[in-house]
Amino acid sequence: MQSPKYYEFLGRPKMISGKRALEQIPLELEGYGAGRPLILAQSKAGSGGPAGTIIRALYDSNLVIGALYDGAIAGSTSGIVSELAGLYMARKCDSIIAIGGGALVDVAKCVNIEVTVKKPPLQLAGEGRITRELKPMVLVPVALVSGNEAANRTFIDGMAVISDFLSPDIVAIDHRMTKIAESDAMLFAGMIALAHAVEASISATANPMIDAYAYASIRLLCGHLPAAVKKPSNKKSSVAVANAASFAATAFSNAPAGMTHYLAEALADGTGINPGISMGLLVRSLLKARMADKKGVREELCLALAGPELFSSRQESARTQAAVDALEGIFNELGGLMPGSLKELGVAQDRLKETVRAAVKASPSKLPEKECMDILSRAWEGK
C-alpha cells in the first residue's frame, strides 16, 4: 500500500458503543458545557419505545431534557424543521440528541443549523457553506437507513447541505436502541453501509484513513449483517451493524459519492425502490465487472472483503476472486431476505436507460455512462 500524493480526511464523531453507552451522554454533553438537550426520538407504538429508554438512561445526571419530541416525522421539510427549532428556542435548549435514523436525523441537523446560524437551512444548501461549529449533537442510532446520519450532510426539502460541522459530535450506540430496528431497516442500513464503504475505498480520493474506516466497516458487516437482519433483537449483531454504518458514513464523508450511489438514487426516484437494496445489488455487480475487466480491484478493498486469512491464503492474482466470493457469501447467507436482482424487484428493463441518464445528470463529477449502463444491466439481471 502507498499513500496518495495528497489527501484530506476527517473522522469527526466520537464513537461510544456498547454496554451503558446511553448513560455516558450527560457527562459528554457536560464536556461541551451543555445540559439541556432537545431530544428527537423515533416513535414506536407500545412499550419499549426509545422515549422511555432514554429518559431512564438520563436518570441521576445534572441534565434536564428541554423537550422530547417523539411525534411522526415523515420527511425533512422546512415546515417541521422550523417548528422544532421554535420548540428548541422556547425551551432554551443547548444541544440536540437524535434517536433513530433517516429523515429524523436530517431534521435534527437542520434544526441545529437553524438555531445556530439563525438562517433557514435551505439557504445554506450546497457544500461548505456552514463555517462554524454548531450546537453539540448526539446521534443515537436505531437503524441508519439513509447512510447520511453519521456523515457530513443533511437534506432539507430534497436539497443537500454538506459541511464538516454536520457530522454528529457523538455517536452513542446502545443495543437498547439498535435492537428495536425492523429487519428490513437493518438490511437497508447494512447494504448502504457496504456500498458506501466499498465506493469510498475505490474512489479517486482513497487514502490510508478511508481504507482503515472501510476495513473496519466491511469486516463488521461480513461478520454480523446476516445475523442482524435475521434477528435485529440480537444485541451484538445489531450493535455491530450500527458501528459499521457509522464507520462507512465517515468514509463516505471523505470521498465523492460514486456511481452506485447516483444510480440507486435515480432508481429510487423513478421506482421507489429502497436505495440501500439497489446499492447493494449495484456494488456487487460493480465488483464483478471490475474483476472481469482485469482493471482489478484495489488490494485494500480485497483485503477488507476477504479478511486477512482468506486474502493471504490466495495467490495475488486470485485475491479479487476471493473478495467477490466473500461478498457473495453475505448475499447467500441473507438468502431470501435480500432480493437477487433488480428484475426480481419489478424494474422494467426499459427503465435502465433513463436511470443512467438521470444519474449522470445528478452527479457533479462526470460519470462514465457506458460503465454505468453495464453495471446497472448486470444488477438488473443479478450478475
Partner 1 sequence: MFLPDYYEFCARVKTVAGHRALDKIPSMLSSLGVTRPMIITDRGVLGAGLIKLVSGAIKGSKLKVGAVYDEVPPDSEYKIVNTAAKLYRAKKCDSIIAVGGGSVLDTAKGVNILVSLGGANILEYEGAGAVKRKLRPMIAIPTTSGTGSEVTVVAVIADHQKKVKIPFTSYFLLPDIALLDSRMTKTLPPFLTAPTGMDAITHACEAYYCLAKNPLSDATALTAIRLISANILNVVKKPGDLQGRLDLANGAILAGMAFSNSMVGMVHNLGHATGGACGVPHGVCMSLFLPYGLEYNMHKRAKEIGELLFPLAGPEVYAATPLKQRPEKTIEYIRKLNQNLHDATGGRHARFLKEIVDREGRQMVPKEKLPDIARTAQGDGAKIYNPEEINYDDAMMVLEHAYEGKPLDRRKVRKG
Partner 2 sequence: MNYDSYPEIKPGRKTIKRIYIAVMLFIVGRAIQAAGRMDKTVRKEFQNLKDDFVFALGVHPHGPWMVVGRDTKGRARYLGWNPEGKKIPLKMSIKNVESAILVFTFQESTSVAFARNRFVVDGDLIDALAVVRVLDLVEVYLLPKLIAALAVKRYPKWSELSPVRKHIGRVAIYTRALLGF
Does residue number 55 form part of the binding site for partner 2 (CB under 8 A)? yes
With beta carbons less than 8 A apart as the criterion, state whether 152 and 164 touch.
yes
Residues 154-193 binding partner 2 (CB under 8 A) are none
Is the dihedral angle over the CA atoms 79, 81, 85, 91 positive or is it negative? Answer: positive
**Which residue among 2, 5, 8, 60 contacts partner 2 (CB under 8 A)?**
60
**How many residues comprise the chain?**
383
Give the whole-angstrom CA distance, residue 87 versus residue 70.
13
Site for partner 1 in 159-218 (CB under 8 A): 164, 207-209, 211-213, 215-216
Select from 57-65, 134-142, 236-244, 369-377 the region that touches partner 2 (CB under 8 A).
57-65
Strand duo 153-156 + 95-100: pairing = unpaired
What cell does 329 get?
457469501
Residues numbered 64 to 83 that lie near partner 2 (CB under 8 A) are 64-69, 71, 83
Out of partner 1, partner 2, none, what residue 11 binds, judged by CB under 5 to 8 A for its kind, is partner 1
Instruction: Return the residue matching grid coordinates 445528478.
Output: 362
Q: Look-up: residue for cell 423515533?
A: 42
Among the listed residues 4, 10, 27, 312, the single contact to partner 2 using CB under 8 A: 27
Binding partner of 65, given partner 2, partner 1, none, CB within 5-8 angstroms per partner class: partner 2
Q: Using CA atoms, how far apart are residues 253 and 250, in angstroms rounded to an integer? A: 5
Out of 4, 20, 126, 349, the only residue in the binding site for partner 2 (CB under 8 A) is 20
Binding-site partner at residue 236 among partner 2, partner 1, none, CB < 5 to 8 Å by type: partner 1
Neighbours of 354 (CB within 10 A): 11
374 binds partner 2 per the rule CB under 8 A: no
Minimum distance from CB of 156 to partner 2 (Å)?
A: 18
236 scored as a contact of partner 1 (CB under 8 A): yes
Part of the chain binding partner 1 (CB under 8 A), chosen from 85-93, 97-105, 232-240, 374-382:
232-240
Phi and psi dihedrals of 268, rounded to 5?
-65, -45
Backbone angles phi, psi at 254, to 5 degrees: -105, 10
Cβ–Cβ < 8 Å for 197, 214:
yes
Q: Which range binds partner 1 by CB under 8 A, 20-28, 36-44, 149-157, 323-331? A: 20-28
CB 192 within 8 A of CB 143: no
Backbone CA torsion sign across 267, 273, 278, 281 = negative
Is residue 296 involved in binding partner 1 (CB under 8 A)? no
Interface residues toward partner 1, by CB under 8 A: 1-21, 24, 30-33, 128, 131-133, 164, 207-209, 211-213, 215-216, 219-220, 223, 236, 239-240, 243, 247, 308, 311-313
